Structure 1
């Protein structure tokens, strides 16, 4: 009988697992993971599955277990909880089901399954929205209680899911692809040190890192927000991995160098839940457990801490492996960068023309230094956060050694350019920063700012460093973390609003917008502080709001990237003889980095000038642009010369020196008086060799 039930159960649950989203649409809840809720004494449970079908209001369950004591009669208590609300709480007499096969519990491995029709009063408590919202926070608990003594012989919990989640591989791949594409375009545009796209690339990655690090605090997060933030774990160099590959190598390294904490496994840690907090606030042992039988050999009271352990365990990386994962990914990034730099250097020598080769050889080292600095800025937050966290674990002396080396290396890679920039300004003036050697090498730090506000990169770096300290070293006390980070964000935005460091108004508005978003989202996380005991449903709603706010912000940044990627050049020219005002504003936006073009351009010489020089000669109207006397023959000569003269050298209302005048080949009354291109060219060639004296007014 048990084998037949097992086959039926296997078929049913295989079909349900292959149609996860259809389950959600049909109105079903099913188990996604299981764990013990108390240490097993009499019964070892290998499998426990529960499924609720809204169509027939039935609760199906399956259990596979093994009893280690004889003559144990138990009753089963089933509890179903969603968002902290007990939906179902019933007790079953096992002697009355399955023909009494479980009374007493058999002393061998057995499998049993059954389906119960729930009364209407229980089904009515399950809202329809439970089948539609992502990352449902619900679980079912089975407790076996000895009939004679009332002792708990076994307790198993199964988290429930409707098949929907804000953690989507498609989102991860899309965001990663956009970042790679932006990186490639920025790589090309960075040949100009003042190009805006490389700075927007940093803004995009910093936004992803802000979302990911916001889920590393000691807070009682709703599952929906933690799942959303896991879409951007790759921005912190945390990549999903199983027992083999990178995680397996790290496990072996730690085992050989004094590591004693749990290893990474392919099993998800989400199922091991501390029910005192969120119904999904994960769980037992920092590595996660793949089966109940292995869990039975552990202490069920050992819970994962909030903060980094839960976050990394949710993607199958143990907390002890977190830093080494970031460290190895950094080494891979360095290897890729060295390959690209080497390929670029080889391309320079492949160029045939000697003059071009010499020019590129002179500028290429500065370009390499600039991108080395950009990559260091990108890796600053992941390396510092997880190096600090590794120091708190005291596990594996080799991991600690690598963390110290990484910390010193990244601080040197950021600190030395900062020192060079500040020293250069102290020895000279801020304008020295825009000379060719410094601008091409260290421009990623300050090129987006006004010369007088070049030092604004320092507050940004200091804020990132302090955040890493608050995330890693404040291990208990989410309130302190939230308040301190909130104060940092407010201070940074206040500096932006007061100093207005960027070269254009649009750039200041864009940076202030990102800062205000961080302030709002950090403020909303106050609801996740455990001591405030905010109910599960309000916390869940706030988690969805945070996900929506960050999603809209990402779209805004992507639109900004598109505007500065140069695609507008495809429709920039409407004709060969005129420019529209819209095209001029597009030029300003592209060169200065505004998302919304400013009505004034930079006055420091690095943006587009207020009255730009035309890109081609424009014929001038003599009736408007110069005093004209029709009775004077000299006026005709001056009119002809002015007609041919470039607009840059036109000097209205003043008499040019004698050396700039020339004798026409024809008299003023000749019909060809206006057609003297050859004399103009010869005269221009002759006069250009002479020293031009200032024009006196």
Structure 2
């Protein structure tokens, strides 16, 4: 078994290294991921602007579709490359000084072409090698046309760059989703017993997923790498969407009919709409004109090639016009710019900020419909079983009685899982003042989830006030439906779930109520996490030390990662590269926590039962072998003394601890000892005493089907407890209860 596990580990490691080698073998390149106007266009209209830099051959590939619509315009061109806030390339070209003045003034015609330019070694050396390997690259190229003499900007185009690597991966989404699904199935099976830890670990796992996703909703300047990492857990907040989602189009239409006036969801990338002060732009000014001059001979051959360019696009250059449609104008003053926090997060998965709650609401309704179908199916099966008497008579009432508390308990768990997303997006919907129907649904959802969680909690507090905390663990009417709230805690700390629920509510409140101040969100959330950690350390609410250690570890992870978010406060002005490093550290800490919770789920999944069964399967043979050996000796004394060790303890075993014995009772056996016993004195004796060593009268012995020889032998060598004796025959070598 051990060797097979090691073989599987070697196979996994080999596969991982092979995948890493294949990924490293991919050509290093940079290409455009979004194109927007950084100023309203006047002279140059761009329909498509694709640029790809291939490091292998140090070349740049262009695919441009543009049109000049204004006559007699003399312009200079400025090319700016921003890489994590740095500007390694900032070049200015006077178009009147190249091609013999062919581009001065700018001719009026449509330009549709593509070609490749070989760049000099001096240019390629300015591009760091890490730019091709770091995930979620924060870089953009900007082309600005400025009129000579007046300095007016005639055109400004920005194209964000990507290297193809990202921490937001579909495989990661599916992996964490499969872990949650397996945990759900195990919890459904184990929840037959309130002592099973599977259902509670499911709540811990979903809470961790939701906290990771919600940590990217604050008004902070997150590095792109951390925001993309948090997008892997967006489904835990019931944010399901796709670029071609018909649900989003239906929500857009509903909002338009009910007073909605905010921007709708689009299938285009949200990167180009991010506020220019935030990642991935990291620029205080949208336009930079202070560039160094560029020798015209570098671009002469390239411009000549572009003037005679092929009309077919190059292979490998990303096509943006078909997917993105018309190029949008995005400035700091425009209404479509995405601010930090929740707007950027939800738009990154093609959900408009105004559509966020309705997306959660519709996904919740679908989930409730699935749960309702399963519950109806279960009750139908119970009805058929009772109708046709398909089970034993003693099982049918038990199954019918236990199914209803089982459904109620899982309804409470579902409400606890949905509490965080509904609170966050319901309260956020109230701040938008958009669609009255969406606002109405948000109020209904908010009240519904609060009632589903608080009503069982109130019933618990009423019972405790009337009968005390121990009643929670003995009253069957309360134990069934409300065990998710208190059963994992000690009776003195039954209320600790209220602390965690209050923390969930406060986190959601800070995301929405303090959305204008990122530092306030971080400080308030940090205080909440600190209070929860202090409660765990002081109260130690769980029944076992291991559970306390596990919960404390998760609280420390939340506290540390919340503290790291201070580096993303925009007012602190932390540079882009340190912010990226801190974002990667926070993502790694959360990833390790996910692995720890997954490992804990495996440990409490019942897998140890296989080990126990394997051990138990080997015990009967050894016991039988010991029994056979003792029988071969032919000594009845050996048989009596070792029978308990061979066949197990009695039904009413002696205590594991040592019990003080009464010296007045324990006396050596003597043939002259009278057989009569003062039964009154034995009845008054303390329960902790014993009559070990005394001889019971013959009429107390009960040895069925004994031969006269066996019975006689038993009477002379019997070794008995106060309530049990052993027979000596091999067939009856068992512990038999005595009779008074």
TM-score after normalising by structure 1: 0.81
Tell whether 2:396 aligns with 1:335. Answer: no
Q: 2:487 — aligned with what?
A: 447
- CA gap of 1:657–1:400, structure 2 versus 1, over 3 A, is farther
Q: 1:316 — aligned with what?
A: 350
Show the 5 A alignment for 1:60-209: 60-94=61-95, 103-209=104-210
Q: 2:422 — aligned with what?
A: 383
Query: Distance between the aligned counterparts of 1:464 and 1:227, measured in 2?
Result: 23
Tell whether 2:728 aligns with 1:675. Answer: yes
Q: 2:522 — aligned with what?
A: 482
Q: 1:241 — aligned with what?
A: 242
Query: Distance between the aligned counterparts of 2:257 and 2:384, measured in 1?
Result: 47
Q: 1:586 — aligned with what?
A: none
Tell whether 2:428 aligns with 1:427. Answer: no
DSSP-derived class of the 2:165 partner: coil
Shift of 1:244: 3.9
Query: Distance between the aligned counterparts of 1:682 and 1:38, measured in 2?
Result: 94
Query: Distance between the aligned counterparts of 1:656 and 1:394, measured in 2?
Result: 90
Shift of 1:123: 2.8
1:502 equivalent among 538, 542, 546: 542
Shift of 1:63: 2.4
DSSP-derived class of the 2:65 partner: strand
Q: 1:569 — aligned with what?
A: 609
**CA deviation profile, 1:384-419 (whole Å, cap 9, x unmatched):** 000000000000000000000000101101110110
Shift of 1:250: 0.5
- CA gap of 1:682–1:483, structure 2 versus 1, over 3 A, is closer
Q: 2:439 — aligned with what?
A: 400
Q: 1:594 — aligned with what?
A: none
- CA gap of 1:633–1:144, structure 2 versus 1, over 3 A, is farther
Query: Distance between the aligned counterparts of 2:25 and 2:69, measured in 1?
Result: 38
- CA gap of 1:143–1:681, structure 2 versus 1, over 3 A, is closer
2:587 equivalent among 539, 547, 551: 547
Shift of 1:95: 5.5
Q: 1:472 — aligned with what?
A: 512
Query: Distance between the aligned counterparts of 1:231 and 1:244, measured in 2?
Result: 18
Q: 1:34 — aligned with what?
A: 35
Q: Which moved more, 1:140-149 or 1:28-37?
A: 140-149
Query: Distance between the aligned counterparts of 1:157 and 1:477, measured in 2?
Result: 29
Q: 2:397 — aligned with what?
A: 358
Show the 5 A alignment for 1:560-599: 560-576=600-616
Shift of 1:97: 6.8
Shift of 1:112: 3.9
The answer to whether the 8 Å contact 1:388/1:469 transfers is: yes
Shift of 1:270: 1.2
Q: Which moved more, 1:440-449 or 1:111-120?
A: 111-120
Query: Distance between the aligned counterparts of 1:441 and 1:562, measured in 2?
Result: 26
The answer to whether the 8 Å contact 1:24/1:132 transfers is: no
DSSP-derived class of the 2:280 partner: coil
Q: Which moved more, 1:87-96 or 1:302-311?
A: 87-96
Query: Distance between the aligned counterparts of 1:66 and 1:614, measured in 2?
Result: 92
DSSP-derived class of the 1:293 partner: coil
Bigger relative contact order (CA 8 A; separation at least 6): 2
**CA deviation profile, 1:506-540 (whole Å, cap 9, x unmatched):** 00000000000000000111100001100000000
Query: Distance between the aligned counterparts of 1:86 and 1:562, measured in 2?
Result: 49
- CA gap of 1:223–1:672, structure 2 versus 1, over 3 A, is same
Shift of 1:274: 2.7
**CA deviation profile, 1:159-193 (whole Å, cap 9, x unmatched):** 11111000000000111111111101111111112
Give the length in aligned residue pairs: 619
- CA gap of 1:528–1:654, structure 2 versus 1, over 3 A, is farther
Q: Which moved more, 1:65-74 or 1:190-199?
A: 65-74
**CA deviation profile, 1:275-308 (whole Å, cap 9, x unmatched):** 3232347999xxxx96463525999633211111
DSSP-derived class of the 1:572 partner: helix
Shift of 1:619: 11
1:301 equivalent among 301, 326, 334: 334
The answer to whether the 8 Å contact 2:37/2:330 transfers is: no
DSSP-derived class of the 2:271 partner: coil
Where do 5+ consecutive residues of structure 1 fail to align? 1-20, 580-612, 639-647, 691-697
- CA gap of 1:99–1:416, structure 2 versus 1, over 3 A, is farther
The RMSD of aligned alpha carbons is: 3.6
- CA gap of 1:98–1:472, structure 2 versus 1, over 3 A, is farther
Q: 1:14 — aligned with what?
A: none
Query: Distance between the aligned counterparts of 1:577 and 1:628, measured in 2?
Result: 42
Shift of 1:649: 12
Query: Distance between the aligned counterparts of 1:657 and 1:258, measured in 2?
Result: 93
Query: Distance between the aligned counterparts of 2:329 and 2:416, measured in 1?
Result: 45
The answer to whether the 8 Å contact 1:384/1:465 transfers is: yes
Tell whether 2:498 aligns with 1:458. Answer: yes
Show the 5 A alignment for 1:507-546: 507-546=547-586
Shift of 1:473: 1.5
The answer to whether the 8 Å contact 1:265/1:290 transfers is: no
Query: Distance between the aligned counterparts of 2:56 and 2:369, measured in 1?
Result: 56
